[in-house]
């Protein structure tokens, strides 16, 4: 009989502790499911956004690694899509320092240098695009503004690996 009462009390205490700890995490200000991407997050090569995909009849094959990646070509910017989701599922923020690339693994950190004026910006590539002929990267409006890009400009892209500047 005494053992039965002891078990009931222990069960009630454990249940109460579990409920209290669950409520405490509800108000802690942190979320277990965050759609935010950290700059130090390594690409998940098995994620759907890093698998081959087709746009306008063209199949794109995302790279397995961006180590040593460099490219020169034309960049544009996008900003009117505020509120849309990126390929990674995060909300697109036009004033952020992000970019879209057709084949870099997501996420990747790159430095984009405007070859007309020498200004550069470090961005997090978290989206796919641009899908206009002759363009190699789309910058968020915030990133384009930092390097003085209005419309289309010739740029150099360099993969940063783990180093990203906050300039």
Q: What is the pLDDT of residues 50-75, one digit of tens each?
A: 999 999 999 999 999 999 999 999 99
CA torsion 88-59-152-94 (nearest 10°) is -10
Answer whether 136's CB lies under 8 Å from 71's CB. yes
Predicted pLDDT of residue 103: 98
Predicted pLDDT of residue 32: 30
Predicted pLDDT of residue 31: 32
pTM: 0.73
Give the number of residues written for the chain.
167
Predicted pLDDT of residue 147: 98
Predicted pLDDT of residue 79: 80
Answer whether 120's CB lies under 8 Å from 111's CB. yes
Predicted pLDDT of residue 4: 60
Q: Which residues of the chain have pLDDT under 70?
A: 1-40, 81-83, 162-167
Query: Whole-angstrom Cα distance, residue 57 to residue 46?
Result: 23
The alpha helices in the chain, defined as continuous H runs, are 2-26, 141-146
Beta bridge partners of 124: 98, 109
Region of 102 on the Ramachandran plot (φ > 0 left; ψ -120 to 50 alpha; else beta) = alpha
């Amino acid at each position: 009989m005494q053992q039965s009462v002891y078990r009931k009390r222990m069960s009630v205490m454990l249940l109460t502790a579990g409920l209290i700890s669950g409520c405490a995490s509800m108000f802690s200000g942190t979320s277990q499911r965050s759609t935010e991407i950290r700059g130090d997050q390594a690409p998940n090569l098995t994620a759907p956004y890093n698998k081959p995909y087709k746009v306008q009849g063209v199949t794109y094959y995302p790279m397995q690694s961006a180590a040593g990646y460099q490219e020169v070509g034309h960049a544009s910017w996008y900003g009117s899509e505020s509120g849309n989701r990126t390929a990674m599922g995060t909300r697109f923020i036009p004033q952020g320092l992000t970019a879209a690339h057709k084949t870099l693994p997501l996420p990747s950190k790159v430095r984009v240098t405007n070859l007309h004026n020498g200004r550069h910006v470090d961005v997090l590539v978290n989206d796919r695009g641009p899908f206009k002929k002759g363009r190699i990267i789309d910058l968020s409006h915030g990133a384009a503004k930092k390097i003085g890009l209005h419309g289309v400009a010739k740029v150099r892209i360099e993969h940063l690996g783990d180093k990203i500047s906050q300039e």
